[in-house]
Structure 1
């Protein structure tokens, strides 16, 4: 073998190794930057909470509910909390939402009780607030904190008054809805959010950002 051939092969191998290393670094850097940007955007989108704009009036349905379910309303103020949303917990939300939706037949209060508005725990029939109350109780029985489970008044896609259960998590606010099987981030429902319970005290209600603009909507029952 020519004495220069060994040195040439050695240099060539070194260059190949260096080129591969540089290519690896470039690809790794590019991948990291792209993934980082995507992850940041996802985190920002998922972590967007509802905007609380001020104090609101308690719905008459809740006030009447408290008269017959005093133990559910006679609670001490508590520190706001966010549930750490894991895959298992999201699955639990989804399961309870689907279970209640399947078990309760939707009927109006007028049809069921002969009154315009009545909030109560349903047995086999009820309207939107009844679904919400049952889901809320089931989640609290399962160990979810009351401060993160908020009855929320909205306008649905038809513009009608409606209620969903808002769950406050470290990944944003989610909505459990009797008009949808999937548990969704609140802004994916397409609803106009009016007001909801305060995290501190369920007997105190707060206006939400969506409810400030439309005329008359903020005072919806």
Structure 2
């Protein structure tokens, strides 16, 4: 995604993004839920096919779990990131959640950034982790999906993880980040940023929608 305006973002932004005013102190009084980045959030249990890229990720991830990850032989052009991740996850299984989160964030962010056009000859392709690692790179949503599934392996609940499509208002582009709920705090993992961030401290990212395996959320005005 990154610098492009993609079909899925155009679809969702045109159908769902509401140009609503800030609610301020009225948000609680009106019974509205304040969600990620301080924006009003509406939850939906099903997407009815609205997010085909994400649906494709879920389908292919189930298939790869059944068939197994193909063996990797490291060479000058291939890092075998999947094998490295397996060793890494085993080494931190007994660590606390913040240690796991930081370790996975750093591991994924070391992988090169590559556009979907270069990798798949497509403008927008959402890769599962095995595809991301096998290609030795990907773009913003690929980092997010890889972190999402790595944290699932490490014991994070689905309901504590969300893939979040945002608008970066500093540079006027669409972007994707991972939001992780940890002890009631929403921590943002961004492939462009070495540190992790609390969502309430991030003012330049405007959420459009977030999604996981259990549902999705739409965002309106800032609370």
Q: Alignment partner for residue 65 of structure 1, among 49, 54, 57? A: 57
1:126-137 paired onto structure 2 within 5 Å: 126-137=138-149
Greater CA drift, 59-68 or 170-179: 59-68
Deviation at residue 61 of structure 1 after TM alignment: 1.6
* 1:145 paired residue number: 157
- Any idea what the Cα deviations from partners look like across 1:27-86, whole Å, max 9, x if unmatched? xxxxxxxxxxxxxxxxxxxxx8424225495433212223423469xxxxxxxxxxxxxx
> Structure 1: how far apart are the matches of 2:214 and 2:117?
25
Q: TM-score, normalised by structure 1?
A: 0.59
Q: Alignment partner for residue 112 of structure 1, among 109, 119, 130? A: 119
Q: TM-score, normalised by structure 2?
A: 0.58
* 1:174 paired residue number: 187
Distance 1:53 1:93, change over 3 A: same
* 1:98 paired residue number: 106
- Any idea what the Cα deviations from partners look like across 1:167-204, whole Å, max 9, x if unmatched? 11223211111011111111323211111115xxx253
- Which consecutive unaligned segments of at least 5 residues does structure 2 have? 1-33, 65-94
Q: Alignment partner for residue 207 of structure 1, among 207, 218, 221? A: 218
Which of the pair has the greater relative contact order for Cα pairs under 8 Å at 6+ separation? 2
Compare the two structures and name the one with the higher helix fraction: 1
Structure 1 or 2, whichever has the larger Rg, is: 1
Q: Does 2:201 align with 1:188?
A: yes
Q: Assess if the C-alpha contact under 8 Å between 2:140 and 2:176 holds in 1.
A: yes
